[in-house]
Amino acid sequence: MSERPVGDDLREAALRLRRAQQVVVFTGAGVSAESGIATFRDEGGFWDRFPPERFAHVPGLLAALRDEPARLAEFFREVVAPIAHAAPNPAHRAIAAFEQAVPVVVVTQNVDGLHQEAGSSHVHEIHGSLLAVRSALGGTAQLTRGDLRATARALEQAGATGSRRRLLWALRRLIGLSHRGTYRPDVVMFGEPLREPDWALARRAVRECDLMLVVGTSGLVMPAAGLPSEARARGARLIFVDPAPPEEPGLWLQGKAGAVLPALLREAFGAEPGGLARFELEGLLEGDKEADRGHVRR
């Protein structure tokens, strides 16, 4: 962990990014906080109100449906509504812009689809996606944010009545019966294996990277939380972007992802999110040729 001023750390991180051959950006809930999706461990936050031992697995959800349908409606609405209304923030857009300068694979624990929407082309969603449902037979179908907005509205009405039937009807886009059997959100719950092939591809990317940018994750949810130490054990450098200090050694850029990542993009490549065309035209790294000769990939 560094005690040097942020400016020096930012320059150091930018240099490492420019020199990297293969980057993994590993993200958690914090990268989407500035899109209006709360992290789960905020004080008085989501897990305080909906304890995971009750709400983060299928048997617990079935028990809640039986015993407290209005509260279950509230739980689903709080999960669905912020993602339904979210849009990528400058952090997602900066991550998407990095790939125009270096090869980048995004490994995300988030289920909000915002990296893809921002334009990242290689995204592994190891905890699944709320924008997809999967059937008991293994097939998946995509949902739109419009589907989620309609679900959130219906949940609000169902919650007010406390009726189980209305709750199940409100949830029909996420949970139900089709000609392919039952279906459910394609989201990994507690005790379930991570989504494949995303998890296998994520681990391969981690083995192959020489730089990992770890953004907005508390590092508490296993097995995902083991990825940074796996990368480090294989010789990759780690850079953390988070207001809170990281759990393991690496360069820490303290702050919100929506401010730090665009600053890193500017420092490394002289570009704004979405503005790498300018960087292409002006010629990358004019001032850094000496330092970076032979390392930069276009």
Residues labelled as active-site residues: 127
Nearer to ligand NAD by Cβ, of 16 and 256: the residue is: 256
Query: Per CB under 6 A, does 17 bind ligand NAD?
Result: no
Query: Per CB under 6 A, does 218 bind ligand NAD?
Result: yes
Nearer to ligand NAD by Cβ, of 221 and 284: the residue is: 221
Query: Per CB under 6 A, does 110 bind ligand NAD?
Result: yes
Residues near 106 by beta carbon (within 8 Å), at least 6 away in sequence? 24, 25, 27, 95, 115, 120, 122, 123, 124
Query: Per CB under 6 A, does 216 bind ligand NAD?
Result: yes
Alpha carbons 34 and 274: distance in angstroms, whole number? 18
Q: Which of 133, 217, 238, 270 binds ligand NAD (CB under 6 A)?
A: 217
Task: Give me the least distance between CB of 37 and ligand NAD, in Å please.
Answer: 4
Query: Per CB under 6 A, does 32 bind ligand NAD?
Result: yes
Identify residues 230-289 at the interface with ligand NAD (CB under 6 A). Answer: 241-244, 256-257
Residue with tokens 């400016």: 7
Residues near 151 by beta carbon (within 8 Å), at least 6 away in sequence? 76, 80, 84, 170, 171, 173, 174
Which residue type is seen at 93? R
| Number of residues counted as binding ligand NAD (CB under 6 A) | 26
Let me know if 157 is exposed, middle or buried by CB neighbors in 10 A (0-12, 13-18, 19+).
Answer: middle
Bridge partners (DSSP) of residue 62 are none
Nearer to ligand NAD by Cβ, of 119 and 162: the residue is: 119
- Could you tell me which of 183, 93, 196, 85 has the C-alpha nearest to residue 142? 183
Identify residues 113-142 at the interface with ligand NAD (CB under 6 A). Answer: 127
Residues near ligand NAD (CB under 6 A): 28-30, 32-34, 37, 39-41, 109-112, 127, 216-218, 220-221, 241-244, 256-257
